[in-house]
Structure 1
């Protein structure tokens, strides 16, 4: 059967990808800090909206707070509206 070599290659690729995904302690600490910074930025946006400043203003503030933290200007979080 020709499926076995393909299955073996697929499994090997999957395992090698998993091995690459391991982070060092330093990288893990950086990830934790980044997630906390993103959470703080989103908490600030929530407080801004609660204060009645308006969605446009709050999203601009969120974009500034998230700059360089994550993919996209809203720290990787989008709304449906």
Structure 2
């Protein structure tokens, strides 16, 4: 009987440890995701300022692509609008 209680307690503790490990990894992934969104937002803000400065769309899109390299999917930093 004592062995079963100890085994059950060990299983519960192991499950809790695994749950905390997954939660910590999830928090890390969430922080990384937030950082990528902020980086993409900053790149898009720079692209808007580039256009406000009178630079051409091709120039500003090239700067956007450079700023977004490695953080977003696609040619337009994860976002494209019509025009």
Normalising by structure 1, we get a TM-score of: 0.69
CA RMSD of aligned residues (A): 1.5
Instruction: Give the Cα separation in 2 of the matches to 1:52 and 1:32.
Output: 31
Output aligned runs, 1:25-40, within 5 Å.
25-40=27-42
Give 1 or 2 for the bigger CA radius of gyration: 2
Instruction: Give the Cα separation in 1 of the matches to 2:37 and 2:49.
Output: 18
The 4+ residue runs of structure 1 with deviation greater than 4 A are none
Equivalent in 42, 45, 52 of residue 44 of structure 2: 42
Deviates more, 1:67-76 or 1:47-56: 67-76
Q: 1 or 2 for the larger relative contact order (CA 8 Å, sep ≥6)?
A: 2
Between structures 1 and 2, the one with greater helix share = 2
Equivalent in 60, 69, 79 of residue 67 of structure 1: 69
Aligned to 1:77: 79
CA contact (8 A) 1:41 1:65 kept: yes
Instruction: Give the Cα separation in 1 of the matches to 2:27 and 2:81.
Output: 33
Structure 1 residues without counterparts, runs of 5 or longer: 1-21
How many equivalent pairs are there? 60
